[in-house]
A and B are shown apart, each in its own frame.
Chain A
C-alpha cells in the first residue's frame, strides 16, 4: 500500500513536472535561403523569417586532428542532410534548393526561433 502510494505520488510529480512547462511550436512555410554560421549554430531564412538550426559538436572518430569534432544537427532524422559541409562551413544541400519546406519551430531561452522539425511541403 505504501509502495503504491509512493508510486502514485512520484507519477503525479513527474506528470506535473512534465506538463508544468509547455512550449507552443509554430509552423512556417517557405523556401530555405541564406544559410550562414551563427553563434556556432546555423541560421537560415525560411521565407522572410530567420530560424536557427541547433548544432552539436561530438567527438570525431578519426585520426585527423582537424576533425577532432564533427557536427551534428538537432533535427528530425530524415533531414539530417539538410546542410552539408563545404569548405569548413555548411551550406544548404543543393537537393533542397528551391524546395518549399514546412518548418516547425519554438522560441528558446535566447529568443531564437529554433527548428524543431522540418518536412517538405506537399
Chain B
C-alpha cells in the first residue's frame, strides 16, 4: 500500500515537473501550406508563430490565413520576420514588417519576432558583420517595432550566434527564441549565449502534427501557463474618457485614463494639441482649451508589460466665439465660413458644400448636392454645419431667418429634411428649432419632374429668386442665453438638393431699443428704378436695419440686413410695382415702407 502511495506521489511530482514546460507551439510559413488549425489545436498546440515577411519584398503568402484561422481555432498567434541584414537596413526591414504584420500585433498575441539566420545561400552572417554590427542591426529593428507596437520583440537565434555574434545590450528587448533542435521539448536549450534565459526553444525542425502537411518547426515556451498568459496578453489596452468633448473657449476638460494592462501601469504621456498644458504625465490630467478649433488627443501608456498608445482624432471641439448680428451669404470664397464647422457624425457621409454657381440674389450659397445625383442610396445620412458660439446675454427678441430653395423628388419616399438646432452647452446637447421636409420644405410648389437621378440629370436648380423662400425661426426663447450655437442639418432621403443662403441671426442690445431709427432717417432712391437703387440710413445712426421687398402678390423677393450709410441694391426682378419694408435690426419695429417701381 505504501509502495503504491509512493508510486502515485512520484508520478504526481513527475507530472507537475513536466507540465511546467509543456506549452507547445509551432512556427510556420508557406512551406506548411494552409494548416488545419483546428486540428493543430486539438493536437495539443497552444501557440504558433507565422512568418509575415522576409527582407523588404517578400510577404508570406499564407500569413493572413495563418493569423486569422489560427486565432479562430484558439491558438495564440504571433508574427515573425526573416531578416536579411546582409542586404537591407534594419529600418527598411522593420517598416516593411510593420506594414504587413502590425494589424495582427495586438493584445493576447505572441511578441513579434526577428528571425536572424544565415542567408539561404551565400556566406554566413558572421562573414558580413562583427558582433557589434549585427547587434546594432537587430536592436535597431527591434526598437522600431517596439516603438510602433509597444511590444518588445523576441530574437530568434541559434546557439552559436547567441553566444558569439550578439552583445549583451540585446538582452534588453523581448528575450531569446533559441533554435536548439535536440528533439526534446522538456529540456532547456544547451546554451542561451549572452541571454540570461530563454523565452522559446525551437526543439525540432522536423515535427509532425495533425493538421499540418509535412514537417514543421516545433517550439516550447519556457514557463507556466500563468507566465505564458502574462507575456502574451501583456499588450496595454489604452483608452480614456473626458467629462466634455464639445466646449467653448476657456473651458477646462478633465481627462480620465481607462487603460488596462496585465502588467503594472507605470506611466502616462499625454499630448493635447491646442490645450494648456499641451503635454502631461498625470494619469487624469485637466486641460484648458482657450482657442477655438478641433483637436486631437494622444495618450501613451507604459506598463511593466509593454506600452501602447491611442490617438482620438477630432476629439475636442472648441466652438469659436461669434459676434451678432450674423448675415452669412457664403460670399467669402471659401467654405465653411470662418468659425463655422462641418460636423461629420459618420465620416463617410455626404456633406454640405459650397455652391459657387448660384445663390439668392448672389452667385454663392451652401447646398447639399449628394441628395441628387449620388449613385448610392444615401438615405439616412446626416451632416451638420455648426455656427460659432454667440452670446444673447443682453439680447431682446433675437431672430433668425434664412433663404432656402428646395423641390422634392417626384418619388414621395425620397424626401429630404432640413433641421435647425441650437445648443447652449457648446454642442454637447442640441434642441430642435426648425424641421421641414418634403413638400413642407418645398419652395416652388411642385416636385421636380425628373426626381432622383443618379446621373444628376433633373436635379433641382433654383431657376430664379422666386424659387427661394425666406423662412424665419423663432429663437426668442434664447434671449438672455450667454452661449448659443446653431446647427444646420441635412437629413437625406436621397431625394433632391437643398440650398441655403443668407443666414441671418440678430440679437439687438437692450439699450439700443431707445435708439430706434425714425422714418425720416431713411431714403430710398432712385424710385422708380431699372433695378438698381440705394437705401440710405441716417449717418447719425449706427444700427443695422432689415430690408424686405415683396411683389404685388405678397411674395418676398428680397431680404437683407443693411448697415447705416448708403447700401446699393441690384434687384433682378421683373418690371412692376413692389413694396419695400424697412424694420429695425430685430424686426420688432417698422421704420419705413413704401412702393418701389421697377421700370
Contact = CB atoms under 8 A, between A and B. Distances in A.
Interface of A: 16-17, 20-21, 23, 36-40, 50, 54, 56-59, 69, 106-112, 114
B28 interface: yes
Instruction: State which size class the interface on B falls in.
Output: 35 or more
B209 interface: yes
A37 B124 contact: yes
B66 to A, nearest CB: 13
A107 B159 contact: no
Contacts, number: 77
B160 interface: yes
A39 B217 CA distance: 14
Interface string B30-65: 011000000000000000000000000000000000
Given A54-B205, A109-B205, A39 B210 contact: no
Residue with the highest number of chain B CB atoms closer than 10 Å, among A17, A39, A114: A39
Interface of B: 26-29, 31-32, 117-118, 121, 124, 158-161, 179-183, 190-191, 204-210, 212-218
17 contacts: A21-B208, A21-B210, A21-B212, A36-B124, A37-B160, A39-B179, A40-B159, A40-B179, A57-B180, A106-B215, A107-B31, A109-B27, A109-B216, A110-B31, A110-B205, A111-B29, A114-B206
A57 B182 CA distance: 8
A37 B158 CA distance: 12
A38 B119 CA distance: 9
Contact of B121 (A16, A50, A56): A50
A40 B158 contact: yes
A108 B182 contact: no
Task: List the 9 closest pairs (A to B, CB-CB), nearest first.
Answer: A40-B158, A109-B217, A21-B208, A109-B216, A111-B31, A108-B205, A108-B215, A20-B210, A57-B190
A59 B212 CA distance: 32
Q: Which of A21, A109, A114 has the largest number of chain B CB atoms within 10 A?
A: A109
A114 B206 CA distance: 9
A21 B206 contact: no
A57 B159 contact: yes
B215 A23 contact: yes
B118 A109 contact: no
B158 A109 contact: no
Contacts of A54: 181, 205-206
B205 A69 contact: no
A111 B161 CA distance: 21
Contacts of A57: 159, 180, 182, 190-191
A109 B207 contact: yes
B160 A17 contact: no
B122 to A, nearest CB: 10
Given A21-B215, A23-B208, A111-B29, 20 more contacts: A16-B210, A17-B210, A20-B208, A21-B208, A21-B209, A21-B213, A39-B117, A39-B158, A39-B179, A54-B205, A54-B206, A56-B181, A69-B190, A106-B215, A108-B205, A109-B32, A109-B207, A109-B216, A109-B217, A109-B218
A37 B126 CA distance: 10
Residue of B191, B208, B209, B212 with most chain A CB atoms under a 10 A cut-off:
B208
A38 B205 contact: no
A21 B118 CA distance: 29
A39 B215 contact: no
Nearest to B179: A40
